[in-house]
Structure 1
């Protein structure tokens, strides 16, 4: 076997592999013998079919399979040992492959086109300054959080008539033969439509153009589960409820923080502010990680074989994606690929390892979050572990690999953060939101 690499540029190369009978014939002969022992052909005793008959009937397919297996192993071994930064998959020269005469040829030459990433280094000392934000949460954030919690912990009370935006009006939509029970959240109505609801009581019937009822199409879908309704509807009111904010008392403290955690408003405020501050700290860390990734992408120069990758994407997706779609999304694909290369290089240099226990722990944390368990698991530890294991085993192992990659990426970023010294800047919440591109609606 002879393997040669011909680099036509920094990012493209061709790999030529020449095979002779010495490379594949022993494997072909072995498979023919195996076929002879297993074949069940008319006129021959089971397991006694002559090798010459197997050669005549199946020789070509056996040869093709053995050559392809030999070829695949040779390519994989060469690329692994050469440590080339191969991106995408090797793409065979199909014209050359299709020209092979499998009936008469003994020696074969195969050519693969390779896409390569250029060599690069990650030098943290040469990165520009990065800022980490220490968010200062105060009375405003406490009061905003308190208002939200009082609403969430409040109770729905039945009321006589609609008076406030936010009242939930239960009833039945009718139009001809269409009839559907539902509820209308009055805070989703247009101002004009809401005015028509004010003062209405149980048993009242309203008539309206349903397309003009809600402030946006989301309100229509929320109330009816459909977006295609139109025309004049009647709505018969059957009940009205209003959310009444929870009172600031011991019952409220226990619901929010847990039984007996605090016994006064002062203690409650102190603990709630700690939670708010911790939440904003996590948001700041997310922003820092994004900024570090952006800084590395902007400052570590990696050249990619763009045209090769575009063609590879089209071929590997087998007609499911067009050239126009590849072109449209290519910049994001290339950016993600460059980040993967940077991350993997850092991880390799730092000897980042992910153990099975790391994957299990992460999956269990996902389950805890899904169940809304943030402290003591209340004896559900075994259930959490079982659900996590079931999740990891589903989807033919893809779930496991997804979690593995998240853990791998998280560990690598944790290491990267130890290699930089960000400038710490104290800012208020509104300034942070502006920097992070977050709106109050979000």
Structure 2
């Protein structure tokens, strides 16, 4: 297929598209002297008017001298400008969707004789997809979920909150949930350090020998067979020291610490939820239940969204130009990623790209857009949630507009575009869920955990 565009010299510029596969093609652009020379000559004349060349008054150097000095660089610059503009215009006019960016054939570029050639051929490889087709109606499988909280989950959460806000006290004998401090020594090695660690790091099979210990007791164990967590993190030692802990070690107990849960009183209620929000144990429990439900339902929404995306991805069955995209990722990152890294990360990248194509197709077909006001509102909500975690929610409101503005301008505006895309994606999923007439399924916490595992 050949398509021509007119440039300023009114001559036709020839662009040829050659499709190799259903999603990869080559674009060849041929430039004759008449296509670029008028622009090159005009640029050289402009240089001559401004050039300060030794032996000539400023702006009086002959064009021939200027051409000898700058002709090749001006030629390259003007040809690159023409190529960029015409290739971009040509690809915009196509019905297919370009992925990544055109890749110039490097071998062709290296063979160019800029001083003597008059006609230039440039070839670019492109990857693309044709129109994405998605059927959104009641035939689409979609489910929404809602949590059903049990009493144990609520009480366990309250216990954790009380312990997290409690204080450490000394204990006479160790019990589950305690932490131990003492001198850890390798029986057959050189390692000997004072360490502290939580008994929660001990595996269930070995826990019994750590219960009922008192200050001064000595317990022998093999850390590699006893500690279920990372040894370096558990004992706060280097990886080099971890190697010294192979085999039997002894711990001389120096201190046993236990968390004393905080009392359920007004001071704790205010610290947990803000002044005056709750004032009784019943209200506290109700608030915990409310927030638990919000958190689980938020997680269930994410889970349901991922399920729905899988369904849409399977239906659309987009065939991406894998070979092209992998090469583009390597070349566009200019040595920052290896071939191995691209191979490893490509499946996740391809899935996200395919979903983006589907989401944009549905949004375009159904006039779904995210607004500037929605971006501001979601950014405010995000900042309130983050700041609230540090007990700063009351102080930030007067500076909220500044926080929002600064965040959205960060990363050269990428934060704004990411927020805009996120909102549009949510709107698309809501639209699909509505059209699919999604049924709501109530699930328990245990059922949700099982769903995540599967």
Q: Does the pair score TM above 0.5?
A: yes
Superimposed CA distance per residue, residues 67-110 of structure 1 (whole angstroms, 9 cap, x where no aligned partner)? 01110111112212324211222122333333333223333222
TM-score (norm 1): 0.84
Number of the residue aligned with 1:111: 123
Specify the alignment match of 1:310 in structure 2: 326
Q: Are residue 123 (structure 1) and residue 117 (structure 2) matched?
A: no
What SS class does the counterpart of residue 331 from structure 2 fall into? Answer: helix
Q: 1:194 Cα shift?
A: 7.2
Question: What is the aligned partner in structure 2 of residue 340 from structure 1?
Answer: 356
How many angstroms does 1:261 deviate by?
3.1
Tell me the residue number matched to 1:188: 201
Q: 1:384 to 1:195 in 2, by over 3 A?
A: farther
In 2, the alpha carbon distance for the partners of 1:216 and 1:148 equals 21
Q: Secondary structure at the match of 2:134?
A: coil
Alignment CA distance shift 1:167-1:295 (3 Å): same
In structure 2, do the counterparts of structure 1 residues 356 and 26 end up closer, same or farther at CA, with 3 Å as the change threshold?
A: farther
3-state SS of 2:440 partner: strand
Q: Using the alignment, how far apart are the partners of 2:347 and 2:46 within structure 1?
A: 51
Matches within 5 A, 1:254-293: 254-293=270-309
Contact 1:115 1:305 in 2 (8 A): yes
Aligned to 2:214: 200
Q: When the two structures are superposed, what TM-score results if normalisation uses the length of structure 2?
A: 0.82
Mean CA deviation greater in 55-64 or 209-218 = 209-218
Equivalent residue number for residue 370 of structure 1: 386
Which residue of 2 is the match for residue 163 of structure 1? 174
RMSD across aligned positions (CA): 3.4
Partner-residue secondary structure (3-state), 2:117: coil
Question: Would you say 1:218 and 2:230 are equivalent positions?
Answer: yes
Superposed displacement of residue 217, structure 1: 4.8
Q: Which runs of 5+ in 1 are unaligned?
A: none
| 1:370 to partner: Cα distance | 2.6
**Residue 45 of structure 1 pairs with residue 61 of structure 2:** no
Establish whether residue 61 from structure 1 lines up as the match of residue 77 from structure 2.
Answer: no
Query: 2: distance between equivalents of 1:388 and 1:206?
Result: 56
Q: Tell me, what secondary structure is at the counterpart of 1:109?
A: strand
Q: Give the Å deviation of 1:136.
A: 1.5
1:349-360 residue pairs with structure 2 within 5 A?
A: 349-360=365-376
Is this contact kept in 2: 1:165–1:194, CA < 8 A?
Answer: no
Q: Residue 261 of structure 1 aligns to a residue in which SS? A: coil
Write out per-residue CA displacement over residues 143-181 of structure 1, whole angstroms, 9 at most, x where no aligned residue: 22222222223222234x342233233466689998866
User: What per-residue deviation string (whole Å, max 9, x for no partner) do you get for residues 87-140 of structure 1?
Assistant: 222122333333333223333222222212133312102743222222211323
- Deviations along 1:165-224, whole A, 9 cap, x unmatched? 3323346668999886653223324565873684433xx485867845851352542331
Provide the C-alpha distance between the structure 2 equivalents of 1:234 and 1:41, rounded to a whole number of angstroms. 83
Q: Give the drift of 1:418.
A: 3.5
User: SS at the partner of 1:124?
Assistant: coil
Segment of structure 1 superposing worse, 243-252 or 314-323? 314-323
Report matched runs for 1:421-440 at 5 Å: 421-437=437-453
Q: Distance in 1 between matches of 2:193 and 2:49?
A: 70
Residue range with higher mean Cα deviation, 320-329 or 299-308? 320-329
